[in-house]
Amino acid sequence: MANQLGNLVESIKSKVKALKKSKKPYIKMDKSSSVKVEIRSRKARLLIDKTLKVADRPGKRTIS
């Protein structure tokens, strides 16, 4: 049992070393169009919420 664990640890170490040596250890994926739409809608929702908070307090007129 201990021997198997030792082999597993050595295997993981060698894979990590190989990843460190390579120039690109992973491929960066571009955001899909649905993810971009989701990000825009979240930002829009935050802006709407901020605007509504300011509108609820008529004495203060600036949006920060």
CA–centroid distance for 27 within its chain: 15
What does the pLDDT look like over 3-54, one tens digit per residue?
888 888 999 888 888 777 766 666 777 888 888 999 999 999 999 999 998 8
Higher pLDDT, 5 or 1: 5
Tell me, what's the pLDDT at 47? 95
**Number of continuous H segments (helices) and E segments (strands) in the chain:** 2, 0
Threshold 0.75, pTM exceeds: no
CA distances from 60 to 36, 45, 46 (A): 33, 21, 19
Q: What is the pLDDT of residue 21?
A: 73
Structural tokens at position 61: 């007129």
Confidence class for position 58, pLDDT limits 50, 70, 90:
confident
